[in-house]
Amino acid sequence: MRPKNKFPSGTAKYLETLLQETKDLNEYKRILSIYLRVKFDYNNDLISLITSYKNQTIKNIHSNYLKEGKKSLNVNKRGGRNNEIFSLEEEKELIQEFEKRSKEGGILEISSIHRACQEKANKKIALSTVYRMLDRHNWRKITPRTSHPKSNEKIM
């Protein structure tokens, strides 16, 4: 069995402060898994019992901390706009151009907004993406009725 890698000096004190400051459970357990090894020299089996992580997860956490240091403790939250084409600010800027046109009394069509989005992104964008963007900014689709709701169908 190969010897365990040594953690840098001062790691235990740093991790103690992080344990007190963190409010996220997953982040707390990640920090705790490193802290238990640094401070008490617990093996991975015992740490896995305490943190309810699997052995391989604990090995990965330790390895990442040894390679990247403090940066590896910043756990990304799940979900969110991971594949966003534009940031929210960029979307607002793009929509403001069309908002000016609509206030002047012009008719807006989704095709023109779609084209502008594709030009700004320099790639093809699905039409549904543009509809979701407009929905995100509280725009709604208004179309005229094809016929009056009280019209008599027999006459036509």
Question: Does the structure show a pLDDT above 80 at 154?
Answer: no
pLDDT of amino acid 149? 73
Q: What residues have CB less than 8 Å from 42, skipping those under 6 apart? A: 36, 50
Phi, psi angle pair for 32, to nearest 5°: -60, -40
Give tens-digit pLDDT for 4-38: 788 888 899 999 999 999 888 888 999 999 999 99
DSSP the chain: -PPPPPPPTTHHHHHHHHHHH---HHHHHHHHHHHHHHHH---HHHHHHHH---HHHHHHHHHHHHHHGGGGG-PPPSSS-TT-SS-HHHHHHHHHHHHHHHHTTPPP-HHHHHHHHHHHHTS---HHHHHHHHHHTT-------SS-TT--TTT-
CA angle (138 as vertex; 136, 140 as ends), nearest 5: 110
Region 101-128: what's the mean pLDDT?
89
pTM for this prediction: 0.52
Which of 54-58, 95-99, 141-145 tops mean pLDDT? 54-58
